[in-house]
Structures are given as C-alpha cells and as structure tokens.
Amino acid sequence: MSSRVERSTSPNRRKMLAGFRAVIALAVGLAFLFPLYIAFVTSLDTASQVFVFPPHLVPSFDFKSYIRVWQMARWAMYYGNTLFITLTTIAIALTTSILSGYALSFLEFKGRNAVFMAFLLVLMVPAEALLIPNYVILHEMSLLNTRWAQILPYGASVFGVFLLRQFFLGLPRSYWEAAKMDGASHLRFLWSVAIPLAKPVLFTISLFIFIGSWNSFQWPLIVTTSHAVQPVEVEVSRLMLAHSVDWRRLSAAGIMTTMPLVVLFLFLQRHIIRGISRGEGLQE
C-alpha cells in the first residue's frame, strides 16, 4: 500500500471498513445458504410445527419425514438409475475423448486440424435446437424410454477432447519415441503412459459430467415415461406435483437428493472452482 493511501484513511477507519465488509459479506453468504437450511429445518419438523408462526430456525430432529418419504417411492430404483446413467455417461464420454484426444495430439495425419474443428463446431450448436430431432432419432432407434436414451446423447464430450488434446500436446514427444523403441504400440503407450499421466484432467472431466448428469432433468423428463428407467430428479418432480402441500416430506425428498452433491462439493470444491475458472463448467 502506498503512503498516500495510508494518509487518507486512518488505521481505525480502515479497521472499521474491514469489519463492515466482513459483516456484509457474511450476510450475502448466509443468504445463499439459507434456502437450503430452511428446507433442512422443515424436513426435520414435527407435524404440528410446519404451519406455525413465527417460523423457527432450530431443527427439531424428527426423522419421521425421511422414513415416510422413503416409503413413498422406490428410491433405491431411482437412485440406481441415476447412478447407472451417471457412471455410464462418464465411462463412455471418457473413452471417446481419450481416444480422440490422443489421436489429435500424438498421431500425425492429414486433416487433423479439420477433424478438431469439426468437433469444436459442436459447441456452436444450440442445445434447444437438438431437443426435438434427438427425440425423433431415439424414437427411430427404438431407444425412447430406456436408460440409454439418457446416456448416449452425452457420449461425446467436446470439452473432454479439448482438454485431453491440450494435455497430450504438452507431454514430451520423447516419451512416445522411447516407448516406440521398446516396441510399444500407440494403444499400449496410451494405456500405460498417457492415461496415468492424464489422471488429474480425467478427474476434472468426470467431475463435471457427474454434476451435469446427476442433476439432469429436462432430457430424462422428455425421453422417459416409465418409472423403471427414470432418475431421482424426475421422481422428485412427480412427488412435488402430487403432494404440493406436504412440505415436510417434500423437503425431506429435496434434502435427500441434494445431500450427495453437497458432500461431493465440500470435498472437491477446489477442483470445481478451478474447472469453472477455466470454463469447463459450461459443458452441461
């Protein structure tokens, strides 16, 4: 800090400003936390507490709503679907982007840049233009109303290709030259050298696909009608329409669905923040 700034604001005044800032910032932060907290409190209310004035902010830890809401729907099945869809999407998207990311960096062939541009062009296609045609395509493939209908349209991650190509281009060529000397094929080199080195990148890509896939609602709502293949979010929306005044159980369902992501976030937020700063959060 310069001397002039120090002269213009006395230490006392600066301390006060810092305190003022800390208080305002806390208010903003709590405002973002509050809606989750109020749902949490409501989900733990006893029956007589919900419609009471003034509202209370201390939970009473009555877990009956959770037990009741667990009995209201086949959650194990919906969670199973969500998990299957999320993990399969990650597996497919990682495979496609690793293979092409590698081809676009370690292999030399004519039209390499053209292929890369053709992939990047995907980012320019607006998502809402694809809703109806993709529905028609899945209908023609007889895949409507399956888990695959919720997976396959997300099988190609252009951000995945972009990041992996970038990463592989940064690897020293000598690694490959050395592996080739030892008689390794490209696939062998990819599997035992390139992929292990790319683990942090693969982790970030998986993380964002996970969040997008776990939270996806619009597409599952469109392509599925039978409960047996639907994810948690669709079931929650159905409960919401059917039991619109049962706030305790609805809140319990909401908290149940949100919790896994909150836990994930608290552990991995550094990766998530770094990913968003690099623009990867846009891939949903």
Burial-class residue 76 by CB neighbours within 10 Å (0-12, 13-18, 19+): exposed
Interaction pattern, residues 149-188, with other proteins; x per rule: CB under 8 A: ---xx-xx-x--x------------------------x--
CA separation for the pair 18, 215 (Å, rounded): 38
Q: Is 258 in the site for other proteins (CB under 8 A)?
A: yes
Q: Which two tokens stand for residue 273?
A: 């923040």
Residue range at the interface with other proteins (CB under 8 A); choices 28-36, 72-80, 165-173, 194-202:
28-36
Longest dimension (CA), the chain: 78
Select the residue interacting with other proteins from 30, 67, 117, 228 (CB under 8 A).
30
Query: Computed from CA positions of residues 225, 72, 241, 79, in that sequence, does the dihedral angle turn out positive or negative?
Result: negative
Contacts of 272 (CB under 8 A, 6+ apart): 207, 211, 265, 281
First to last CA, the chain: 42
Interaction pattern, residues 54-83, with other proteins; x per rule: CB under 8 A: xx----------------------------
Select the residue interacting with other proteins from 44, 69, 209, 236 (CB under 8 A).
236
Residue 101 amino acid letter: G
CB of residue 141 to other proteins, shortest distance in Å:
9
Burial-class residue 165 by CB neighbours within 10 Å (0-12, 13-18, 19+): buried
Q: Is 191 in the site for other proteins (CB under 8 A)?
A: no
Select the residue interacting with other proteins from 90, 103, 198, 209 (CB under 8 A).
103
- Report residue 53: phi and psi, to 5°: -115, 140
Select the residue interacting with other proteins from 95, 117, 188, 200 (CB under 8 A).
95
Q: Is 263 in the site for other proteins (CB under 8 A)?
A: no
Q: Is 126 in the site for other proteins (CB under 8 A)?
A: yes
Residue range at the interface with other proteins (CB under 8 A); choices 63-71, 72-80, 170-178, 212-220:
212-220
Contacts of 85 (CB under 8 A, 6+ apart): 147, 150, 151, 213, 220, 231
Q: Which two tokens stand for residue 172?
A: 């020293």
For other proteins, the closer of residues 76 and 241 by Cβ is 241
Q: Which two tokens stand for residue 259?
A: 């919790």
Residue range at the interface with other proteins (CB under 8 A); choices 58-66, 68-76, 104-112, 195-203:
104-112
Select the residue interacting with other proteins from 5, 58, 76, 181 (CB under 8 A).
5
CA separation for the pair 271, 162 (Å, rounded): 18
For other proteins, the closer of residues 77 and 134 by Cβ is 134
Residue range at the interface with other proteins (CB under 8 A); choices 66-74, 115-123, 171-179, 195-203:
115-123
Instruction: Report 8-27 residues binding other proteins (CB under 8 A).
Output: 21-22, 24-26
Q: Is 262 in the site for other proteins (CB under 8 A)?
A: yes
Q: Which two tokens stand for residue 6?
A: 């120090």
Select the residue interacting with other proteins from 42, 65, 230, 283 (CB under 8 A).
42
* Residue where the block lists tokens 């608290």: 266
Residue range at the interface with other proteins (CB under 8 A); choices 58-66, 70-78, 116-124, 171-179:
116-124
